[in-house]
Amino acid sequence: MGKFFGSILLIIGTSIGGGMLALPVATAAGGFYYSFLAFIFTWLIMTAGALLILEVLQPMPQGTNMISLAKHYLGKPGEIAMWLFYLALLYSLVSAYISGGTDVLSNALQEINIQLPFYALAAIYTFSFAFIIYNGIHWVDYVNRVLMFGKLGTYIMLILIVAPFVDIKQLSTGEFARLLPNISILITSFSFASIVPSLRDYWSNDVRTLKKIIIWGSLTPLFCYLLWNLVIMGAVGQSKLNTLVNSVHTTTGVGKFLLATTHSHIILRLFDFFSCICMLTAFLSVSLGLRDFLADGFGIKKNGWKGAIVLSMTFVPPLVIVIINPGIYLSALKYAGSFCIILLLLLPTLMSIQFRKNHQQVILPRHNLILTVLLISGLFCMVTPYAFN
């Protein structure tokens, strides 16, 4: 049960990260009620994509990652597409979490009158936790369990303290069309499927258990997102949240608005602590997925000096991106959403079509309509942010 619970926490930790902190800002223009429907829609299609990844993994050997899957089912074009878009996705996510985490770290150090250059803080934040990734999924699992208890506990405290300040009138504003440009950020918040291959290895292809882990692990973030949006939007208000869309300090800005609303410094401390854990758990989980992806793609061992090379490939590029563009947090999440749609929904659907020609062990119902709907939904989410921008 500890392993089962820990695996669910890995999915929760991957999902409830920097994306969650950005959600009230990203969806403010659309309002709470339209964002509620958008959350249900994005959860459905991204969970289906995760189950399809598990489906096509079934006959593959242990250690198989996304590159090997694409090559096996979609040939060389699929392999090249997976390489390009998956690297773009994971590097975008790691860049976003380094940017957001550094912002939180900078704010915390300023509270005790310590100021360091941004590039130094970014490097400290990144490499302080790299050794955990080097030691693999078991270390990440155990560290994540400890952090998740702190995250969930702080989340509950924040909800309970802020809830009395919610003004229902502030939830009724918003326009559906203004939500659509940021729907890719909602997609990013359900990008946990990137660790499905790692979980499958961890559970030695126990598909029945893994299905439960994916479903329960994804339902928890959905509930948390909906409640989080309700409380933050209702307490802070749409107009204030909209001012943070292009801000370098998106994360800490929400905390300061909560302070102005509640007049409680306890809220600010709790929010800063919550932000720190959210960034860190997502950073660890996504970095693990990126490291495993690179090791699989280049055929490099993950320990010894070769493991150090993989670790450098994992962290140096996104760190350089963040140092060059410190305010990349929200835009990186937005780009990541587009890559998520391609890699964690469209390509798995195409792989499942090939898989079902020769295998009977399907996870989603064997009906062409379901796969067609998933493809159309993915294309809709790809086009919408640009059509309504």
pLDDT single digits (tens) 152-185: 888 899 999 999 998 888 887 778 888 888 888 8
CA-wise closest residue to 197 among 6, 68, 325: 68
CA 49 to chain centre: 14
What's residue 282's pLDDT?
77
Lowest mean pLDDT among 64-78, 108-122, 220-234: 108-122
Q: Give the pLDDT of residue 130.
A: 76
* CA gap 371, 164 in Å, rounded: 44
* pLDDT(245) > 70: no
Identify the CA nearest to 339 among candidates 75, 66, 137, 12: 66
Distance CA(172)–CA(323), nearest Å, equals: 39
pLDDT (average), residues 15-44: 86
Mean pLDDT for 130-151 is 75
Across 186-212, b (16+ Cβ under 10 Å) vs e yields bbbbbbbbbbbbbbbbbbeeeeeebee
pLDDT at 302: 66
Q: Is the pLDDT of residue 227 over 90?
A: yes
- d(Cα 46, Cα 44) in Å, to the nearest integer? 6
**347, pLDDT greater than 70:** yes
Pick the CATH number of 2-387 from 3.30.565.10, 3.40.630.10, 1.20.1740.10, 3.90.1150.10: 1.20.1740.10
The residue to which tokens 């309509």 are assigned: 369
Residue 193 pLDDT greater than 70, yes or no: yes
CB of 191 closer than 8 Å to CB of 15: yes
What is the per-residue pLDDT for 246?
64
305-329, pLDDT tens digit by residue? 777 788 888 888 888 988 888 777 7
* Helix, strand, coil % over all residues of the chain, rounded to 5: 85, 0, 15
Distance CA 100, CA 279 (A): 7
Of the two residues 134 and 166, the one the predictor is more confident about is 166
Tally DSSP H helices, then E strands, for the chain.
Answer: 18, 0
Within the chain, what is the greatest distance between any pair of CA atoms? 63
Identity of residue 335: Y
Token code pair at residue 84: 């390009």
pLDDT for the residue numbered 373 = 93
Closest CA to 44 of 176, 214, 185, 171: 214
The whole-model pTM stands at: 0.82
pLDDT tens-digit readout, 267-307? 888 888 888 888 887 788 778 878 877 887 777 776 667 77
8 A C-beta contact, residue 221 and residue 12: yes
- Residue 265: per-residue pLDDT: 81
Residue 18: predicted pLDDT: 65
- pLDDT over threshold 70, residue 388: no
Please give the average per-residue pLDDT across 86-102, as a whole number: 84
Average pLDDT estimate for 89-102: 84
- Measured in degrees and rounded to the nearest 5, phi and psi for residue 164 equal -65, -15
Joined together, the tokens standing for residue 136 give: 């693999």
27-36, 109-118, 239-248: segment of lowest average pLDDT: 239-248
Q: What is the pLDDT of residue 92?
A: 86
CA-wise closest residue to 55 among 297, 293, 370: 370
Residues 87 and 181: their CA atoms lie apart, in Å, by 23
Question: Average pLDDT of 82-106?
Answer: 84
Confidence at 230, pLDDT banded by 50, 70, 90: very high
> Token digits for 165?
């300040």
Q: pLDDT band at 354, cuts 50/70/90?
A: very high
Q: Calculate mean pLDDT across residues 52-61.
A: 91
**89 pLDDT exceeds 80?**
yes
Confidence of residue 371 (pLDDT cuts 50, 70, 90): very high
Average pLDDT taken over every residue of the chain: 84
